[in-house]
Amino acid sequence: MAKSTANSNLHKAKKGKNDEFYNQLSDIENKLKHYKDHFKGKVVYCNCDAPRVSNFFHYFSHNFELLGLKKLIATCYKNQQIDLFSDNSSEKAVYLIYEGDKNQNFKPDDEKIEVFPLKGDGDFRSEECIELLKQADIVVTNPPFSLFREYVAQLVEYDKKFLIIGNQNAITYKEIFSLIKENKIWLGYKNGDMEFKVPDYYEPKATRYWQDETGQKWRSMGNICWFTNLDHSKRHEELILYKSYHENDYPKYDNYDAVEVSKVDHIPMDYNGYMGGTNNFFE
């Protein structure tokens, strides 16, 4: 790669804080099927979604009738080219509205997806994006991990239902942990490994990175979670515990009066004190 191109790519990646990870349609389909009943008659907003490369927009526009949606709104960030990954180069952005199939061909035709200019760059915190948020019933997206705290705080402030992707470490952020404790957020279905498409300018720092035969860059992470306040049946499954507490099996933390439990199903059924989980707790 020529030096100037490499520099410009690095510059874009830095500007974008490497937040450009795009979800695969199969991951979205596999997880969202567990929430189908929540969407009937609802306005869905994808507020961090370069529309044509976001598989969230794709999923909801192609399943609009099946889910019985009322309206689909998507905003993208620093991007007006709806077919491209955002390279964070434009100070303006656009938003899209889709209100369903009007000609009975069961497809979201391009001309039925209305594209409107935004005054600003599509930041989810901007006034105009907040106005769109107010119209929404459910927000579904993979927001920038670097702004996760602020992102969730805004959803809570506007009392929105949501289903969003985040890093498992977010559980330990004090703001997020408090919401979990208060039963205002919980984990969604199936958390763990996820593969993401990344843009051309992505500079790999990670080991879980590859390029496929078409040249598309990818990376994967093993600690990805869905965070939601939509109810789902897994929350109501009875947890069958079979282990009893023995001091040697459950080491005590040095700095906190709690014992460590390696996995959910290793929770001792006869221990009433505080317990802590490790990274693989939910696997």
The contact set with ligand SAM (CB under 6 A) reads 19-23, 48-50, 54-56, 77, 86, 122-124, 141-144, 147
Query: CB-wise, 28 or 69, nearer to ligand SAM?
Result: 28
Query: CB-wise, 19 or 203, nearer to ligand SAM?
Result: 19
Query: Closest distance between ligand SAM and the C-beta of residue 120, in Å?
Result: 10
Query: Closest distance between ligand SAM and the C-beta of residue 145, in Å?
Result: 7
Query: Closest distance between ligand SAM and the C-beta of residue 79, in Å?
Result: 7
**Which amino acid is located at 36 in the chain?**
K
Neighbours of 42 (CB within 10 A): 17
What token pair was written down for 136? 């929404």
162 three-class SS: strand
Asked whether the beta carbons of 260 and 279 are under 8 A apart, the reply is: no
Report the phi/psi class of residue 212: left, alpha or beta, with left for phi > 0 and alpha for psi in -120 to 50: beta
For residue 224, list its beta bridge partners.
167, 192
63 three-class SS: coil
**Which amino acid is located at 116 in the chain?**
F
* Nearest by Cα to 94 from 108, 84, 104: 84
Query: CB-wise, 143 or 268, nearer to ligand SAM?
Result: 143
Query: CB-wise, 170 or 261, nearer to ligand SAM?
Result: 170
Backbone angles phi, psi at 16, to 5 degrees: -85, 0
| Cα–Cα distance list, 21 to 262, 272, 278 (Å) | 30, 41, 26
Beta strand pairing call for 138-141 and 161-167 = parallel
The helix (run of H) or strand (run of E) holding residue 196 is strand 192-198
Rounded CA gap, 61 and 23, in Å? 16
Query: Closest distance between ligand SAM and the C-beta of residue 248, in Å?
Result: 43
Query: CB-wise, 226 or 250, nearer to ligand SAM?
Result: 226
* Nearest by Cα to 186 from 149, 146, 226: 226
Query: CB-wise, 55 or 229, nearer to ligand SAM?
Result: 55
Query: CB-wise, 56 or 98, nearer to ligand SAM?
Result: 56
Query: Closest distance between ligand SAM and the C-beta of residue 47, in Å?
Result: 6
Query: Closest distance between ligand SAM and the C-beta of residue 148, in Å?
Result: 10
